[in-house]
Amino acid sequence: MTPLAEIDLVLASTSRYRRELLERLTSHFRQESPQVDEAALPDEAPAHLAVRLAAAKARAVAVRHPNALVIGSDQVADCGGIVLGKPGNIANARRQLRESSGASVVFHTALCLIDARDATGREFAAIDTTRVVFRRLDDTEIERYLEQEQPFDCAGSFKSEGLGIGLFERIETVDPTALVGLPLIALCRLLREASVTAI
């Protein structure tokens, strides 16, 4: 096993949340924007969309970085078949939280690790499914939350690592980091499959 600190590691993402999570494993990596179209295909299932985009992001960056390990990740939130993307503004965030109130939202967080250290360019993939059960929220609570945390760059319009935890009845998951955007348990497993160890 090769220690992670000795690898040329690239995170195919500009997300500060993914950067902060990966920093829990190592500080030796670079971030690069994959510049991938994230639009869903017609009738594409949310889990398939997450898997496809994670791979597309990793591949887009891997071609520019031979001899590197490249991590791509994508998260898609599914509320009763409706994809909840990043709201971008308070009106969209308000609508998303109203739709999620009292409901279960499933977060599909996909990973793709590309080993470009040799000509094979092996790919390793995983997907985490986390279910978030929202408690019933009234409009006053939604407004207070959005004013305080402004989660407009987060799928589902909340930050579970912050005040957003107060919106839930429960979280059903095998990996609490997945909900933030980068499932570290799955990533460590994929690294081991690529003969790299984080420890």
Domains and CATH numbers, the chain: 2-197 (3.90.950.10)
* Alpha-carbon distances, residue 159 vs 66, 67, 99, 114, 168 (angstroms): 35, 35, 17, 28, 11
Q: Rounded to whole angstroms, how far apart are CA atoms 47 and 128? A: 9
Predicted structure pTM score: 0.93
Distance of CA 133 to the CA centre of its chain: 18
Choose the catalytic residue: 74, 115, 128, 175. 74
Per-residue pLDDT of the chain (199 residues; tens, 9 = 90+): 999 999 999 999 999 999 999 999 999 999 999 999 999 999 999 999 999 999 999 999 999 998 999 999 999 999 988 899 899 999 999 999 999 999 999 999 999 999 998 878 899 999 999 999 999 999 999 999 999 999 999 989 999 999 999 999 999 999 999 999 999 999 999 999 999 999 9
Would residue 74 show up in a list of annotated catalytic residues for this protein?
Answer: yes
